[in-house]
Amino acid sequence: MTTTIDGRKIARDIRSRTAGEVAAAVAAGRSVPGLATVLVGDDPASAVYVASKRRAIREAGMRDFHRTLPQQATQDEVAAVIDELAADPDVSGILLQLPLPAGLDSAALISRIPVSKDVDGLTTSSAGLLARGEYGLRPCTPSGVIELLDAEGVTIKGSHAVVVGRSELVGRPMAQLLLQRDATVTIAHRHTTDLAAVTRAADILVVAAGVPGLIGPEHVKPGATIIDVGIHRTPSGLTGDVRADELDGSAGRITPVPGGVGPMTIAMLMANTLRAAEWAQRSA
Ligand code: NAD
């Protein structure tokens, strides 16, 4: 029997819990948390992502400070907007939507975001705090995966967790978060020679390779928990990195695509914006 993990429901619970905490903080006289999304250029997928983040922020009772810059915006123009938001005490969190138009240096722009406003957890400082296990804002997708595992009652401590993918955005912070929760962690990547031999050892398998259908029954230990982070647009809809239909009956639990990890990313952005506001108030 394979259980499908309902990411939509778990994400809804986190969003309503966050909205409740925002309302309580405001009722107690604290200022309303606010998120600034920065969208540069006219990539249609980015525009859709930013619109749904802004909607979720407003639904959670937080302030929406959105900025749009044109496709031709220069490095200095984007930097000036980030610096202005960084200095604005009403802005709790700053999210620079990626990818940026060609010619802009995203790493240099991200580095201008103060660590206490880094709701995507992508600055070098946030990565350092995560690696050291110190207080900080964690990248939304991997922290959403931890929330999914906890909501499902999956035992992380002492388990063998395998993460497929080592990106700054997902794979590396995912491995760090699992390590912090006392899993034995293995990271696989494109140069791993026998992927199936590695993944078959996993009690928890998190797949963030960006390769459609990479993982099938030959990669999975019976009863394992499979978290599919991959998202691919196909003519017949969204699919992931895991051939979920082929694992029905052998995996213990599995996240669907869509409706698994995806909704968690936005929910964790809400939670991170509230956390950023609390951080600013603590250090004020
Ligand atoms: P990326 O391309 O930056 O990194 C992919 C990683 O997978 C690399 O480290 C690479 O070494 C590894 N890899 C590639 N091919 C492999 C193979 N054949 N075997 C083993 N490892 C392999 O991608 P990313 O930004 O980490 O995103 C990964 C996937 O997750 C993408 O499909 C992306 O769309 C999706 N994603 C989803 C969410 C969400 O909210 N659900 C958020 C971020 C990313």
Q: Is 176 a catalytic residue?
A: no
- Centre of ligand 1 to C-alpha 174, Å, is 12
Whether the Cβ atoms of residue 252 and residue 42 lie closer than 8 Å to each other: no
Q: Is 94 exposed, middle or buried (0-12, 13-18, 19+ CB in 10 A)?
A: buried
Residues forming a β-bridge with 40: 69
- Ligand 1 neighbour 192 (Cβ under 6 A): yes
Q: pLDDT above 90 covers what percent of the chain?
A: 98
Find the catalytic residue in 97, 118, 176, 228. Answer: 97
Cis? peptide before 99, omega within 30° of 0: yes
Predicted confidence band at 284 (pLDDT cuts at 50, 70, 90)? confident
- Ligand 1 neighbour 166 (Cβ under 6 A): yes
- Centre of ligand 1 to C-alpha 68, Å, is 27
Predicted confidence band at 1 (pLDDT cuts at 50, 70, 90)? confident
Ligand 1, atom 19, residue with closest C-alpha = 190
Predicted confidence band at 282 (pLDDT cuts at 50, 70, 90)? confident
Pick the CATH number of 140-263 from 3.90.1170.40, 3.30.70.920, 3.40.50.720, 1.10.3720.10: 3.40.50.720
Give the mean model confidence (pLDDT) for residues 261-266. Answer: 97
- Centre of ligand 1 to C-alpha 277, Å, is 30
- Ligand 1 neighbour 5 (Cβ under 6 A): no
Q: How many CB atoms lie within 10 A of CB 88?
A: 14
Cα–Cα distance, 244 to 91 (Å, whole number): 41
Give the mean model confidence (pLDDT) for residues 231-259. Answer: 96
Superfamily grouping for domain 30-115 = Leucine Dehydrogenase, chain A, domain 1 (3.40.50.10860)
Q: What would the pLDDT profile of 61-104 be if each residue is shown by its tens digit?
A: 999 999 999 999 999 999 999 999 999 999 999 999 999 999 99
**In the chain, where the domains are located:** 30-115, 140-263
Q: What would the pLDDT profile of 177-197 be if each residue is shown by its tens digit?
A: 999 999 999 999 999 999 999
Q: Name the average pLDDT for the chain.
A: 97
For 38, 68, 171, the CA distances from 145, given in Å and listed in that order, are 25, 30, 11
Predicted confidence band at 152 (pLDDT cuts at 50, 70, 90)? very high
Q: What would the pLDDT profile of 155-170 be if each residue is shown by its tens digit?
A: 999 999 999 999 999 9
Give the mean model confidence (pLDDT) for residues 194-209. Answer: 98
Cα–Cα distance, 129 to 262 (Å, whole number): 25
Per-residue model confidence (pLDDT) at position 283: 82
- DSSP structure string for 161-216: EEEE---TTTHHHHHHHHHHTT-EEEEE-TT-S-HHHHHTT-SEEEE----TT-B-
Q: Is 43 a catalytic residue?
A: no
Cα–Cα distance, 137 to 119 (Å, whole number): 6
Does the predicted TM-score (pTM) go above 0.85? Answer: yes
Same fold, 30-115 and 140-263: yes
Ligand 1, atom 34, residue with closest C-alpha = 231
